[in-house]
Amino acid sequence: LNSSGEVWHGVTDHFKGRFTCHALTLAGFAGEPPMANPSLSAVRDAVLRYIDENHLDRPVIVGHSLGAVLAYSVAATAPDKVGPVVAIDGVPFLPALMNPAATVESVRPQVDAMRKALENASADVRERQFDLSLPSLMSDPGHVAIARKWALASDPRTSNQLTMDLMTTDLRGEVGRIQTPLLLI
């Protein structure tokens, strides 16, 4: 969340001698201009347009966390346009990790409370949240500093909306439409 496509440079550097690699930065993240109405479905549609506009033939889609959920959504929506999917740290419905019986409606009160807290967070509060959370997600202080820079440059409205979408998107009924190999890590 909030990262630049540069986060994938180590991976793309490894594969670029054998494959054409595209590392995307989502609109509104890491200083990229935001969409007028950000949503997971709008980002999914933008990825599908990118595939078409760049004449990509069934590309391998790799995503982490929000990107993994996005990869499921892209592959389920347009199974004929994508090749294999690699989903890292992302599942079709995140709240089900804590409660397998969870539904979008059952998590709605918590999500609404989270939305309100995020929308009302000042820049100082957001910065403190990044300072507390990012070191728990990565061990290299240099990587933490880069991720912090990207997070601070991200559009709070976009970040908040996509966080809410991540918590309220249930793709469990849609992943069956994926027609390509899928690796969940």
For position 67, what pLDDT does the model report? 97
Residue 40 · residue 162 · CB < 8 Å: yes
AA letter at 95: P
152-170 confidence digits (pLDDT tens): 999 999 999 999 999 999 9
pTM for the full predicted model? 0.93
Residue tagged 């249930």 (tokens): 170
Alpha-carbon gap, residue 73 to 81, rounded angstroms: 12
AA letter at 63: G
124-143 confidence digits (pLDDT tens): 999 999 999 999 999 999 99
Helix or strand (DSSP H, E) at 134: helix 123-137
Two structure tokens written together for 74 = 């892209």
